[in-house]
Structure 1
Amino acid sequence: MFETVLVANRGEIAVRVIRTLRSMGVRSVAVYSDADADARHVREADTAVRIGPAAASESYLSVERLLEAAARTGAGAVHPGYGFLAENAGFARACAEAGLVFIGPPADAIALMGDKIRAKETVRAAGVPVVPGSSGSGLTDGQLADAARGIGMPVLLKPSAGGGGKGMRLVRDAERLADEIAAARREARASFGDDTLLVERWIDRPRHIEIQVLADGHGGVVHLGERECSLQRRHQKVIEEAPSVLLDEETRAAMGEAAVQAARSCGYRGAGTVEFIVPGGDPSSYYFMEMNTRLQVEHPVTELITGLDLVEWQLRVAAGEPLGFGQDDVGFTGHAVEARICAEDPARGFLPSGGTVLRLREPQGDGVRTDSGLSEGTEVGSLYDPMLSKVIAYGPDRATALRRLRAALAETVTLGVQTNAGFLRRLLAHPAVVSGDMDTGLVEREVENLVSTDVPEEVYEAAAAVRLEALRPAAGGWTDPFSVPDGWRLGGTPKPAAFHLRVTDPVEHTPRGAHTVTGDRVSVTLDGVRHTFHRAADWIGRDGDAWHVRDHDPVAASLGRAGRAGADSLTAPMPGTVTVVKVAVGDEVSAGQSLLVVEAMKMEHVVSAPHAGTVTELDVAPGTTVAMDQVLAVIAPAEEETA
């Protein structure tokens, strides 16, 4: 076994790998960029090495700097986690050339399965069923469009080199093919450095089911059962569970054997995942989609039902050990469900969020596990992936696991950064999820019922109560009567204190119920119902939801509007970087015209003109870093034509 392992990643996966290294008595080396100098994974490792500035391209994606860090610390192996360089064949080869063991599959297997076109051809030859689609690589835009029309709409555009839903586009209208192909290429190029695309038939109401495999260097290959990953938004998984309620024992065995054959076909070694698309109405008709040649984000649910530590087995296989068990030795007990906590704001269309973690509470306990890279004071920026942590629940049956996970999400507190925890809790209570009648389009169909943009009155009541208590004079000594917030007025009727507050729209709120403010909690009673919140600075939270309640100055706001009379401001929908600017000052634009593109956490957002008019101000250029709600441009409305 290795004495020292360098973890070439960050965040929750780095913390999770370090945990297993510690349990095995292996020394851990963390790496960090300037943005992560005080991150949790840095503090939990035995030692840590700075590898560059905040930009991933100059730090976490720098093979040279990672190898240098390994050499400086005497590491004998490198664990890539997932993301960044985990599926980079060049990195695996560079590790080998430097005398390091890459804790993952052989470079040739990574390269083969990383090319979705070659991967499909390889597993098809091994007898694994694949989704009908285009054949050959390097297809032009025209050839892709022709292939799509030949398959028949709707179709799915996919980057050949990618994964994680990046660059994928579902196209139902053939007239949209040109625009969608261009957008898919742009995102694929930005995410993977390769804009090669393929096109596949879209299967309506599909289930996404994947099989975990484990292979050693001695010919041993087993599968560790399936994971249901059908709850997705924008092709990104949000909830995963094991096992799937869809499969019977016969189908499970057949899909498991197909996954084993796929792994054998590429000479696989280590932990990997074979992903299948499954028609919900006919589970026996499953199709290979791709193979992820790394540890998956959702690996904890497999660990909980099998009792196996997958990171430990990654290390043992990489060190040359045989598995020591066969397929008949793998057992499955109970049920596990995982929720991904991401820095995103459901009320703003799930746009990436950011900020400083002011208050943190992560659930643990009977049947609950949290894998996290967070700590209080963590600065969540826009440079890296938005996933912050994972909450996983286990139980003897599915109903228990779901109930425990909903309760755990209600206990989750991440004030200072908007997350999707409350949204996920409501999703897990949806009747279709509870019954197991799911497909990959469920979240998108039901999202409006799971997200509310309305701010409950008790949130303003709690925020006002905090402000009211802050105005009260300290106990003891003389009190200036004019400083007491009791609404007393000279010669007039007392008027209760009122506060101008804003979450989205400004409101004026007068506290009207009993309240208690103690430390990081505030409780208010409205209409006989007591509501209790966590609080930190201007943040109020409960049941996984959080609200940033700011003070609002109506006079300053009025003056600000007057200064912009006759013009409409376009603001940044999220903290990020402006990557594309399509207009200049003086340009005439039409309503809905695409003007700028803002990118954050590997996500692009197009900023469009709200109406026809003229660009009178343009405050950004490509490469400009912007804060949420920062003014980007101003469009003066076009004068209406008169009869």
Structure 2
Amino acid sequence: MTELPDTRLFDTVLVANRGEIACRVIRTLRARGIRSVAVYSEADAGARHVREADQALCIGPAAAAESYLNIAAVIGAARASDAQAVHPGYGFLSENLEFAKALEAAGITFIGPNIEALNVMGDKIRSKNHVAAAGVPVVPGISEPGLTDADLIAAAADIGYPLLIKPSAGGGGKGMHSVFAAEELPATLATARRVAAASFGDDTLFLERLVANPRHIEVQILGDTFGNVIHLGERECSLQRRHQKVIEEAPSPLLSGLDDGGAVRARIGAAACAAAASVNYTGAGTVEFLVSDDTPDEFFFMEMNTRLQVEHPVTEMVARVRGKSLDLVEWQLRIAAGEKIDFTQQDVTLEGHAVEARVYAESPAEGFLPATGTVVVLEESVAQRPGVRVDSSLARRLKITANYDPMLAKVIAWGTDRREALDRLDAALADYVVLGVPTNVEYLRLLVADPDVQAGRLDTNMIERKLPDMAFRTVDAGDYAAAALAARKVDVARPNAPGEAPAASSWGRLDGWRLGDPAPWRSAWAAPGRTGVVTVSGPQADSGTEGPGVVHVNGIGGDQESRTALDLNGTTGGELLWDGQERGYRVGMLGETVFLGSGGWSVALERLDREAATARMLAGLEREDAAADPQLRSPMPGTVTVVNAKTGDRVAAGDVLLAVEAMKMEHQITATMAGTVHIGVAVGALVKADQVVATVEPDEDNSTTIPEGE
């Protein structure tokens, strides 16, 4: 890592962000002896970045618009803490022109680019036209301010199909839509404008030709106030879902696999530097390019991100300056403090390969629905392994809400070559444990193991193609047995409440003790869409010990029975013997829910009382007899963003009635049958997971139905 000069950069820096990036920036500030100030919303009072900063100030309610996006509140916190500079992280205000202007007016340094760069690159139409004038190749299309739907429809014929609709403001893939035929364009334009207006406050759109077999390759650059601009190599970010990156790596396997890959790398790096130099860029930034897998020596400018990227760790792990690694946050501080980049392009080399996987709070097997919960078990010690790094916002007992982006952490692995990096990443993900909130770790392992990913055959549509065939593990009888035995051990170990007989007394025992053989112990358990009843007999039914017993599970793949034992290490992990096979679990329990994790897979099993178990059984029988459920429920907690019908309207099966958004994901709720609808929510309403939001009263002769959830 490059050495800092003896002079102090700043005394105090405020971090205007949250989550793992706030923790990441605070780590560098601490290492450099700079006092860190965190800001937080009321929902984030217990967040990890709040605990790790030297000072923390609350700036408003949970809603981002009233806290993390509140310019006046952030600047007020900077003044109150005597911060000389503000690091914006990424997202929120990191590319906000008005924020940068307000900081300048307040005499506070913005650890980001200059106002010129923010102004030009913050608008996709303006930036595309600007870099084209600087000689940077761009995708054919139409990109002018103020284009109406009619203008865009007229231009589409000349551009040719398929094409891509893009919003001029914002990023992260929001509002981007592919169109393959002319008849699809009008309705898709309306949707894109609505999403762009809601997300960015600007519904300006433009069109580009849709590049066949596209790969997303971006270049990390640094620029200083002395006119120096250098690049630190490229990253491949082609593994995306809905334009959101999932796995990123450096360098690009596409370029590394070309005979003239070094020459292409130099050309794309030079183009990135030209784009940055055209706006006198200062600080760290990323220039994103689209590359066709069919013609990898051609590349087209997409946009410039005028901030630090989520995936910056892979560059830090492979880029070397005179043989030493870089800290990009450190260089942001140095450049913002007026220092000159003290190395040249010839001093930069790339060593080995690095791959990053983003850990999200979501349920991939359920359509990637955003998830919430409380972290019950957390094991991130994989960060101590050679070549492995974890950037995380997680802590035990941390509550994960639906208020913000669902990314929780990043697991990054370096290797001497791509194979070693992928192997290290998979091994780290297998032992990375988060229980209490659903995550995508199992999905990440399936993706990393895919033969095309292993071979470097990537494109931005690959995940959508592969998803239907991914073999997600489902809960089975052995998992139910493990949950029941783990809960039994906790029950038996629970101390007696005041007034109860001593545990040593036969009358005070909680395990149903009796003379003779111990009474069988039964419990009902629920997982998503499934219910099972577990009966335990033998020593474990008597006292929760690890001695072998007989466990009978009913309701999961029919009746199953096994002589089994769960050997728990405390209450956080153990080995289960089921059908003669040993299974390793990490175990956590919160209330009446047992959380199991194994090799990246996890599940939550809820213990049901008699009434709840009976209700679920009856509901299941009713659903089997019914063609569709007239009650429409929100699949996730979130905010109602669209309501397309009003109470009393006649609807057809498949009509989109409303949409719920949470953690950057919009889920459309459709009628499962024809009939008369009753709408129970309005735009802006906050809803819970599984809350009834609408009901359809079916027609008497209702033969047109669709399966629930499709």
Helix, strand or coil at the partner of 1:255: helix
Distance in 2 of aligned mates of 1:600 and 1:485: 45
Deviation digits for residues 258-285 of structure 1 (CA, Å, limit 9, x no counterpart): 1111111111111100101111122111
Contact 2:370–2:636 at 8 Å: present in 1 too? yes
Q: How does 1:400-439 map to 2 (within 5 A)?
A: 400-439=420-459
2:353 to 313, 323, 335: 335
Shift of 1:225: 0.1
CA RMSD in angstroms, aligned pairs only: 2.4
Question: Are residue 499 (structure 1) and residue 507 (structure 2) matched?
Answer: no
Q: Does 1:108 align with 2:116?
A: yes
Listed one character per residue, the Cα deviations across residues 330-359 of structure 1 (whole Å, up to 9, x for unaligned) are 111111110011111101100111111111
CA drift of 1:483 comes to: 6.5
Map Cα deviations across residues 217-258 of structure 1 (whole Å, 9 max, x no partner).
101110000001011111110000001111111110010011
Give CA deviations for 1:178-234 in whole Å, capped at 9, x if unaligned.
Answer: 221111112212221111111111112111100000011101110000001011111
The question of whether the paired residues in 1 share the 8 Å contact of 2:227 and 2:280 is answered with: no
Supply the distance in 1 between the matched residues of 2:143 and 2:686 (Cα, whole angstroms). 40
Q: 1:520 maps to which residue?
A: 572
Q: Counterpart of 1:309? A: 327
Partner of 2:635: 573
Assess if the C-alpha contact under 8 Å between 1:579 and 1:599 holds in 2.
Answer: yes
> Residue in 2 aligned with 1:557?
616
Distance 1:482 1:227, change over 3 A: closer
Q: Which SS does the other structure have where 1:331 is aligned? A: strand
1:456-605 paired onto structure 2 within 5 Å: 456-470=476-490, 472=492, 477-479=504-506, 484=511, 497=522, 499-510=524-535, 511=551, 512=562, 513-518=564-569, 519-537=571-589, 538=593, 539-552=595-608, 553-557=612-616, 568-605=630-667
Instruction: Indicate which of 694, 698, 707 corresponds to 1:637.
Output: 698
SS at match of 1:364: helix
CA distance, structure 2, for counterparts of residue 364 and residue 331 of structure 1? 25
Pick one of 366, 369, 373 that aligns with 1:351. 369
Asked whether the 8 Å contact 1:90–1:107 carries over to 2, the reply is: no
Q: Which residue of 1 aligns with 2:685?
A: 624
> What percentage of aligned pairs have identical amino acids?
52
Amino acid at match of 1:620: V
* Kept in 2: contact 1:422–1:543 (CA 8 A): yes
Partner of residue 299, structure 1:
312
8 Å Cα contact 2:673/2:702 also seen in 1: no
Which residue is 1:318 aligned to? Answer: 336
Distance 2:140 2:515 in 1: 76
CA, structure 1 residues 468+285, in 2 after alignment: closer, same or farther (shift >3 Å)?
same
From 167, 171, 176, the counterpart of 2:179:
171
From the superposition, tell whether residues 610 and 74 of structure 1 become closer, same or farther in structure 2 (CA, over 3 Å). Answer: same
Residue 221 of structure 1 corresponds to which residue in structure 2? 229
1:84 correspondence with 2:92: yes
Counterpart residue type for residue 428 of structure 1: V
**Structure 2: gaps of 5 or more residues:** 1-8, 256-260, 320-324, 495-501, 536-550, 552-561, 704-710
Per the alignment, residue 364 of structure 1 pairs with 383
SS of residue matched to 1:19:
helix
Contact 1:423 1:451 in 2 (8 A): no
Tell me which of 266, 272, 278 is aligned to 1:259: 272
Distance 1:288 1:137 in 2: 18
Q: Residues 375-386 of structure 1: matches in 2 within 5 Å?
A: 375-386=395-406
3-state SS of paired residue (1:391)? strand
Residues of 2 paired with 1:98 and 1:484: CA distance?
Answer: 67
Shift of 1:124: 1.0
- Equivalent AA in structure 1 for residue 304 of structure 2: M
Measure, in 1, the Cα distance between the counterparts of 2:491 and 2:19.
40
1:568 positional shift? 2.0
Amino acid at match of 1:619: G
Matches for 1:379-394 after TM superposition, within 5 Å: 379-394=399-414
The offset of 1:509, in angstroms, is 4.0
Given that residues 489 and 495 in structure 1 are in contact (C-alpha distance below 8 angstroms), is that contact kept between their aligned partners in structure 2? no
Matches of 1:333 and 1:48, distance apart in 2:
38
Asked if structure 1 preserves the Cα contact closer than 8 Å seen for 2:40 and 2:50, the reply is yes
Give the 3-state SS of the residue equivalent to 1:514 in structure 2.
Answer: strand
Instruction: Summarize the Cα distance change of 1:451–1:292 in structure 2 as closer, same or farther, 3 Å threshold.
Output: farther
8 Å CA contact 2:524, 2:531 repeated in 1: no
Moved more, 320-329 or 620-629: 620-629
Give the distance between the partners of 2:48 and 2:142, measured in 1 at CA. Answer: 44
**Partner residue in 1 for 2:6:** none
| Structure 1 position 383, deviation (Å) | 1.4
Partner of 2:209: 201
**1:22 corresponds to:** 30
* Kept in 2: contact 1:487–1:496 (CA 8 A): no
Q: Quickly say closer, same or farther: Cα 1:272–1:11, change in 2 above 3 A.
A: same
Is there any run of 5+ residues in structure 1 with no aligned partner, and where? none
1:471–1:354 CA distance, 2 compared to 1 (3 A): closer
Equivalent position amino acid for 1:361 in 2: E
In the TM superposition, what is the alpha-carbon distance from 1:597 to its structure 2 partner? 1.1
**For the structure 1 residues 280 and 613, does the alpha-carbon distance in structure 2 shift closer, same or farther, using more than 3 Å as the test?**
same
1:37-92 deviations in Å (ceiling 9; x for gaps): 11111111111111111111111111111111111111111111000010111111
Q: For 1:12 and 1:559, how far apart are their aligned partners in 2?
A: 44
Q: Given residue 548 of structure 1, which amino acid in structure 2 is its aligned partner? A: A
Aligned partners of 1:326, 1:569: CA distance in 2, in Å? Answer: 64
Give the Cα separation in 2 of the matches to 1:453 and 1:542.
11
2:72 partner amino acid: E
SS in 1 for 2:383: coil
Question: What amino acid does structure 1 have at the position aligned with 2:106?
Answer: A
Q: How does 1:109-128 map to 2 (within 5 A)?
A: 109-128=117-136
Pick aligned residue for 1:63 from 53, 71, 74:
71
For the 8 Å contact 2:503–2:509, the answer to whether it is kept is no
Counterpart residue type for residue 268 of structure 1: Y
Partners of 1:211 and 1:274 within 8 A in 2: yes
Shift of 1:481: 12
Alignment TM-score, normalising by the size of structure 2:
0.86
Please state whether the residue corresponding to 1:74 is helix, strand or coil. coil
Confirm or deny: 8 A CA contact 1:341 1:390 kept in the other structure. yes
Letter paired with 1:332: L
| Cα distance in 1, alignment partners of residues 245 and 360 from structure 2 | 11
**Residues matched between the structures, number:** 639
Name the counterpart of 2:707: none
Distance 1:151 1:457, change over 3 A: farther
CA distance in 1, matches of 2:514, 2:216: 60
How far apart in 2 are the matches of 1:114 and 1:54? 26
Q: Normalising by the residue count of structure 1, what TM-score does the alignment of the two structures yield?
A: 0.95
Deviation per residue, 1:338-385 (Å, 9 max, x gap): 001111110110011111111111231221111111111211111111
CA apart distance, 1:142: 1.7
How far is the alpha carbon of 1:558 from its aligned partner?
5.4
Partners of 1:543 and 1:433 in 2: how far apart? 20
What is the one-letter code of the residue matched to 2:351?
T
The whole-number CA distance in structure 2 between the counterparts of 1:270 and 1:378 is 33
Higher mean alpha-carbon deviation, 200-209 vs 137-146, is at 137-146
Residue 614 (str. 1) matches residue 622 (str. 2): no
